[in-house]
A = this chain, B = another copy of it.
Amino acid sequence: MAMKLNTRYLKSFVNEHELKAIEPQVLAAHRTLTEKSGLGNDYLGWTTLPKDYDREEFSRIKAAARKIQSDTDLLLVIGIGGSYLGARAALELLRSPYYNNLKKDTPDIYFVGNSISPDYLNTVLALCEGRRVSVNIISKSGTTTEPALAFRVFRELLEQRYGKEEARGRIYATTDKARGTLKELSDREGYETFVIPDDVGGRYSVLTAVGLLPMAVAGIDIDAVMGGAAAAMDDLAVGDLCKNDCYKYAAYRNILYRKGKQIELLVSYEPAFTMMNEWFKQLFGESEGKDQKGLFPASVVFSTDLHSMGQFIQEGSRCMFETVVDIQNSTKDFFVKDDPENLDGLNFLSNQNMSVVNHKAMQGTILAHTEGGVPNMVLEVPGINEHEFGYMVYFFEKACAISGYLLAVNPFNQPGVESYKKNMFALLGKPGYEDQRAELEAKLG
């Protein structure tokens, strides 16, 4: 069984002919993508990655993970954006949001180098005390401010604690195959290195060493992850809108956008999905948010957020639609016990599976929200495991590419990310940015 799109609840919002009407554009997007003729066509490595990856490196990833498991209590993963979100999403979804709190036979994993907060950095330094630490630095260039700053700190910590020689064996660099500061340093120091392919952008990189090494360290079966992605690659190759749920999803979200919806809310009913939401938001937000266009990606985790954002979704501004990720089977169920007193009035749930209760909450919510005027689509995912994770990643990646072409943007660049960096460098007095500094400071007053 594979991931499926259920559009039953869209009926009162989208007419059947609308899908027919957008079909030629979807097929054009399909051709653009498969013929590699569109904007951003230098970054299509992800399309064949699930089958066409470096087997030798894949084995080295597994070997490195075993070594880290054997000599490390705490792995620091240094990276930002696409070099951070995918691995963390996998860890929380496939192991647990409380992975670092649970007893287990794999190392703790903390993500650093994704902010400039000294409080955060000091906290992670405290967590490293008395623990055997290794580092996976993930950066294409090695000069991105946030990870580079963190790497300075933790490389020094390892070298002071273990000596230069042992520290070298505790640093794993995921970086460019040939060029850049981090690659040069790694070659000189003899760090084991893994490759960020040239044709795979950051937000599409979770199925490369970027995501796979931290996953493997956490005991996640990365063969099964790649197998799931390969299954999606096969299933979602067909250029027929009726037979391709990934394309249908891309089509409907564009139909809703063109009707004036401005926000797509990704909804799930599992707290473990929280970081998948963040991964999704980067994927779609960074791919589509350009040329003053794009659906604003937001997320909620129900039923938690039914008691915070639920009121707004039910009755507030009608600016959004919902895409519900319906995880159809829990990893392990829990049965509600009978209480002879029934003071809380919950005995109508006695001996009921909590997963059934959760599922009825989902159905009840979908009906309530559509009744309230919010279009709902449902992505049915059979369960939470490595295969489904890999499948879902590929599904969303391809949906995002097709969706971006439907929107008529380049889904693979991110020119806007440089703007804040340039200003920050100028304000910090980085050599080469002197001219802008005075001008910016005048604006700050």
Shortest Cβ distance from residue A202 to the other chain B in the assembled complex, whole angstroms: 8
- A309-324 at interface with B (beta carbon < 8 Å): 309-320
Q: When the two chains form the complex, which single residue of B345, B352, B416, B428 contacts A315, counting CB atoms closer than 8 Å?
A: B416
> A28 near B: Cβ within 8 Å?
no
> A262 near B: Cβ within 8 Å?
yes
> A59 near B: Cβ within 8 Å?
no
Query: Which residue of chain B has its CB nearest to the CB of A384?
Result: B119
Query: Which residue of chain B has its CB nearest to the CB of A423?
Result: B364
What B residues does A114 contact at CB under 8 A? 303-304, 307
Q: When the two chains form the complex, which single residue of B281, B318, B346, B363 contacts A309, counting CB atoms closer than 8 Å?
A: B281
Number of copies: 2
The segment from A65-73, A142-150, A231-239 found at the interface with B is A142-150
Number of interface residues of A (CB under 8 A): 135
The segment from A35-43, A46-54, A213-221, A285-293 found at the interface with B is A285-293
What B residues does A308 contact at CB under 8 A? 81, 85, 203, 278, 281-282, 285-286
- The interface bits of chain A over 327-361 (1 if a CB of B lies within 8 angstroms of the residue's CB, else 0) are 00011111011010001111011001111011011
> A13 near B: Cβ within 8 Å?
no
The segment from A17-25, A96-104, A191-199 found at the interface with B is A96-104
Query: Which residue of chain B has its CB nearest to the CB of A302?
Result: B115
Query: Is B85 a contact of A423 with CB atoms below 8 Å?
Result: no
Shortest Cβ distance from residue A354 to the other chain B in the assembled complex, whole angstroms: 4
- A80-108 at interface with B (beta carbon < 8 Å): 80-82, 84-85, 96-98, 100-103
Alpha-carbon distance A293/B118, docked complex (angstroms): 39
What B residues does A185 contact at CB under 8 A? 343
What B residues does A330 contact at CB under 8 A? 117-119
The segment from A204-212, A242-250, A391-399, A437-445 found at the interface with B is A437-445
What B residues does A124 contact at CB under 8 A? 98
Query: Is A307 a contact of B156 with CB atoms below 8 Å?
Result: no
> A15 near B: Cβ within 8 Å?
no
> A263 near B: Cβ within 8 Å?
yes
Query: Is A417 a contact of B310 with CB atoms below 8 Å?
Result: yes
- The interface bits of chain A over 362-393 (1 if a CB of B lies within 8 angstroms of the residue's CB, else 0) are 01110111011100000000001000000000
What B residues does A143 contact at CB under 8 A? 344-346
Q: Supply 20 further A-B pairs (C-beta < 8 A) apart from A311-B417, A364-B421, A364-B440.
A: A98-B124, A101-B101, A116-B303, A117-B330, A117-B354, A118-B358, A119-B330, A122-B334, A151-B344, A152-B337, A153-B337, A181-B344, A262-B262, A288-B312, A289-B311, A349-B428, A363-B424, A363-B440, A369-B420, A372-B419
* Residues of A that sit less than 8 Å from B by CB: 8, 80-82, 84-85, 96-98, 100-103, 114-124, 126-127, 142-143, 145-146, 148-149, 151-153, 156, 181, 184-185, 202-203, 262-263, 269-272, 278, 281-282, 285-286, 288-298, 301-304, 306-320, 330-334, 336-337, 339, 343-346, 348-349, 352-355, 357-358, 360-361, 363-365, 367-369, 371-373, 384, 414-417, 419-431, 440, 443-445
- Rank and list the top 3 A-B pairs by shortest CB-CB distance, nearest first: A289-B312, A289-B316, A81-B307
